[in-house]
Amino acid sequence: MSRIPLSGLYYPNKFGLLVIDALRDVMGQNGIDAILRLSKLDEMVDNYPPNDLEKAFDFAALSSIMISLDELYGMRGGQGLASRAGKALFADGLKDFGAVAGVGDLALRMLPLRAKVKVGLPAFAAIFNRITDQKVEVLEDGNDFLWIITVCPVCWGRGQSNKPVCHLAGGLLEESLRWVSGGAEFGVVEELCHAQGDNHCQFRISSPRWGSGQ
Ligand SMILES: [Zn+2]
């Protein structure tokens, strides 16, 4: 039982396992054990989710872990760790799905940067929408793209915050963009967050390189 009431909404077990493994790599066994205990996820200590796609890792577990990171490492340290876990979630998880694997070729193609992102983002969103209970929409806003999480596991059930808190989602997005673009850097900013009282969590994705019609 997590510190937040269970949501009945799930990530696949594998996603939960990747997050825990990524955190353990950085903070060591004692660190991840402390985080799981602080998150009231004692049953997961030495008993990680299995490496399968069954939807059984409750959003409340993920959100509880994010809160514990901030408490134990401070907002700044917690942010860095959450972002790193998000990057691992893409690199070791999402990237291997068939629909995304095809998008990987884009990095090598002579397409304008913006075209790669325009094809890549909806493919990433489709994976979430298909194999998880997280719901994502992708919109364009001028030259920018908006990654809109209408049902967000990262801040699920989290109390009021005066700033956005979904750093795991931001890290995942940064890594996915880096991958689809063959290493380009982007601006990725969470400008709306459910934990701040907004209706959904929204990331704005921008690049100075596509301002001139790219
Ligand atoms: Zn969120």
Distance 63 CA to ligand 1 centre (A): 9
Q: Which of 49-63, 73-87, 107-121, 163-177 has the weakest average pLDDT?
A: 107-121
User: 67: part of which helix (H) or strand (E)?
Assistant: helix 59-92
60, 4 Cβ separation under 8 angstroms:
yes
Q: What is the pLDDT of residues 14-24, one digit of tens each?
A: 999 999 999 99
Those residues whose C-beta lies under 8 Å from the C-beta of residue 107, and which sit 6 or more positions away, are: 116, 179, 180, 181, 182, 183
pLDDT-based confidence at residue 99 (cuts at 50, 70, 90): low
pLDDT-based confidence at residue 192 (cuts at 50, 70, 90): very high
Closest CA relative to residue 68, chosen from 113, 123, 20, 110: 20
Q: What is the pLDDT of residues 19-38, one digit of tens each?
A: 999 999 999 999 999 999 99
pLDDT-based confidence at residue 1 (cuts at 50, 70, 90): low
Distance 156 CA to ligand 1 centre (A): 7
Per-residue pLDDT averaged across 57-79, rounded? 95
147, 121 Cβ separation under 8 angstroms:
yes
Q: What local confidence, expressed as pLDDT, does residue 98 receive? A: 67
Distance 135 CA to ligand 1 centre (A): 11
Distance 211 CA to ligand 1 centre (A): 28
Distance 213 CA to ligand 1 centre (A): 31
Residue 167 in tokens: 């750093």
Per-residue pLDDT averaged across 171-195, rounded? 94
What pTM does this model have?
A: 0.93
Q: What local confidence, expressed as pLDDT, does residue 95 receive? A: 81
Give the start-to-end residue ranges of the domains of the chain: 10-92, 109-210
Distance 113 CA to ligand 1 centre (A): 27
Chain centre to alpha carbon of residue 199: 18
Q: What CATH number does domain 109-210 carry, 3.40.50.1000, 3.30.1380.20, 3.40.50.2000, 1.10.8.60?
A: 3.30.1380.20
Q: What is the rounded distance in angstroms from the CA atom of residue 138 to the CA atom of residue 117?
A: 11
| Residue showing tokens 């063959």 | 182
